[in-house]
């Protein structure tokens, strides 16, 4: 038998876990959430430290990882570009070598996916993508966990994506290919998903619709995101014009299945990508979705550090 250490598992894209591993992580998220609600102490990550690096703003990602890590018995180091040498051009490879000698796990929110890949390839410990321009896997992990809680398996279901062909859209598409559901995509012209950037094997798990209402027809879940993602602020005015018809409103929810859910990763802009009636209405599960970031990521951290636990 070889004495070589097991290879480090990173979570940089949704496809970094198999369908079978997702089944395990979703089951663990449910159990970890149950323990949290029952005030049952669960400290499997005692003495472990998570480094969180933020190059973009965050509310949910920071709170969910930080609170979640403490609840698992571990501790957290919080770094931003502005208060670390990362903002003063220390090479990302050197930062990875140093930070991963002192901590057990790293979460990074940054710009290009190439940056997180370079960090991961020089890290001794697992690296988690807390959002890049291309992907937001932790969010889709929580979204699918939320769907399962409300409606059961997502396999064979239809998710309508209304809006930008951005990091969220790319990650939904990866998830559809891996977990066996379909995405109905409607994006304004010029803001389409790039199949190569999304890293898809084929076009079999999505359908493109010009009219966002057509994308919502018959959907089990309708979801959207901001018109302008972080890092694209210079395009704000042009996007406001291009996206004017891509607002999820009651007419769109009307043509979805009667029991369709509405999700939004948040932060939301009422009156832009979603109407107040929809996001604050009966089909919206956005607050469960936000809370579930924490439970799902606790299960993810447990899996990356300890493997298949059944406690």
Instruction: In angstroms, give the least distance from the CB of 287 to ligand NVA.
Output: 15
- Among positions 95, 103, 139, 167, the unique one binding ligand CP when judged by CB under 6 A: 139
Work out whether 174 is an interface residue with ligand NVA (CB under 6 A): no
| Contact of 276 with 248, CB cutoff 8 Å | no
Q: Distance between CA atoms of 7 and 10, rounded to whole angstroms?
A: 9
Reply yes or no on whether 136 is catalytic: yes
Work out whether 265 is an interface residue with ligand CP (CB under 6 A): yes
Reply yes or no on whether 265 is catalytic: yes
- The DSSP secondary-structure symbol of 189 reads T
Strand partners, 52: 78, 107
Q: What are the distances in angstroms from CA 51 to CA 64, 76, 83, 117, 213?
A: 13, 6, 14, 16, 42
Reply yes or no on whether 139 is catalytic: yes
| Contact of 279 with 241, CB cutoff 8 Å | no
Interactions with ligand NVA, residue window 100-139 (CB under 6 A):
131
Q: Distance between CA atoms of 117 and 12, rounded to whole angstroms?
A: 7
| Contact of 262 with 269, CB cutoff 8 Å | no
Residue nearer to ligand CP on the CB measure, 138 or 176: 138
- Among positions 10, 33, 60, 239, the unique one binding ligand CP when judged by CB under 6 A: 60
Q: State the Rg of the chain over Cα.
A: 19
Instruction: In angstroms, give the least distance from the CB of 255 to ligand NVA.
Output: 25
| Contact of 186 with 215, CB cutoff 8 Å | yes
- Token pair, residue 57, equals 């703003």
Instruction: In angstroms, give the least distance from the CB of 68 to ligand NVA.
Output: 17
Interactions with ligand NVA, residue window 48-107 (CB under 6 A):
none
Work out whether 213 is an interface residue with ligand NVA (CB under 6 A): no
Beta-carbon neighbour count of residue 88 at 10 Å?
A: 8
Residues 274-303, mask of contacts with ligand NVA (x by CB under 6 A)? ------------------------------
- Among positions 32, 215, 222, 226, the unique one binding ligand NVA when judged by CB under 6 A: 226
Work out whether 80 is an interface residue with ligand CP (CB under 6 A): no
The dihedral sign for the CA sequence 193, 198, 200, 205:
negative
Using CB distances below 5 to 8 A depending on partner kind, what does residue 59 bind out of ligand NVA, ligand CP, none?
Answer: ligand CP
Q: Tokens 């798990």 identify what position? A: 205
Binding piece for ligand CP, criterion CB under 6 A, among 45-53, 56-64, 119-127, 199-207: 56-64
Cis peptide before 105 (omega within 30 of 0): no
Q: Distance between CA atoms of 105 and 222, rounded to whole angstroms?
A: 33
- Among positions 265, 294, 300, 301, the unique one binding ligand NVA when judged by CB under 6 A: 265
Work out whether 53 is an interface residue with ligand CP (CB under 6 A): no
Query: What is the contact surface with ligand NVA in residues (CB under 6 A)?
Result: 131, 166-168, 225-226, 229-230, 265
Q: Which residues are catalytic?
A: 109, 136, 139, 225, 265, 293
Query: What is the contact surface with ligand CP in residues (CB under 6 A)?
Result: 58-61, 131, 139, 265-266
């Amino acid at each position: 038998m070889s004495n070589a250490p097991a290879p480090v598992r990173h979570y940089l894209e949704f496809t970094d876990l198999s369908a079978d591993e997702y089944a395990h992580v979703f089951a663990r998220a449910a159990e970890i959430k149950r323990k949290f609600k029952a005030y049952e102490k669960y400290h499997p990550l005692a003495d472990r430290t998570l480094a969180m690096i933020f190059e973009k703003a965050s509310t949910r990602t920071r709170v969910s990882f930080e609170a979640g890590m403490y609840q698992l018995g571990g501790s957290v180091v919080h770094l931003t570009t502005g208060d670390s040498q990362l903002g003063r051009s220390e090479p990302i490879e050197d930062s990875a070598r140093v930070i991963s000698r002192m901590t057990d796990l790293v979460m990074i929110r940054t710009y290009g996916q190439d940056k997180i890949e370079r960090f991961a390839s020089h890290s001794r410990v697992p690296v988690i993508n807390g959002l890049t321009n291309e992907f937001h896997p932790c969010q889709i992990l929580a979204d699918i966990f939320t769907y399962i809680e409300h409606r059961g398996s997502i396999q064979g279901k239809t998710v309508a994506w209304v809006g930008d062909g951005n990091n969220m859209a790319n990650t939904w598409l990866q998830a559809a290919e891996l977990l066996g559901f379909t995405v109905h995509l409607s994006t304004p012209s010029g803001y389409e998903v790039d199949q190569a950037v999304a890293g898809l094997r084929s076009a079999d798990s999505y359908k493109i619709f010009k009219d966002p209402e057509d994308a919502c027809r018959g959907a089990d879940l309708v979801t959207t995101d901001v018109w302008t993602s972080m890092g694209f602020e210079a395009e704000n005015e042009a996007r406001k014009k291009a996206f004017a018809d891509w607002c999820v409103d009651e007419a769109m929810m009307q043509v979805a299945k009667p029991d369709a859910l509405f999700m939004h990763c948040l932060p939301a802009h009422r009156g832009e990508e979603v109407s107040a009636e929809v996001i604050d209405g009966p089909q919206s599960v956005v607050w469960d979705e936000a809370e579930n970031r924490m439970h799902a990521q606790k299960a993810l951290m447990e899996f990356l550090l300890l493997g298949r636990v059944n406690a």
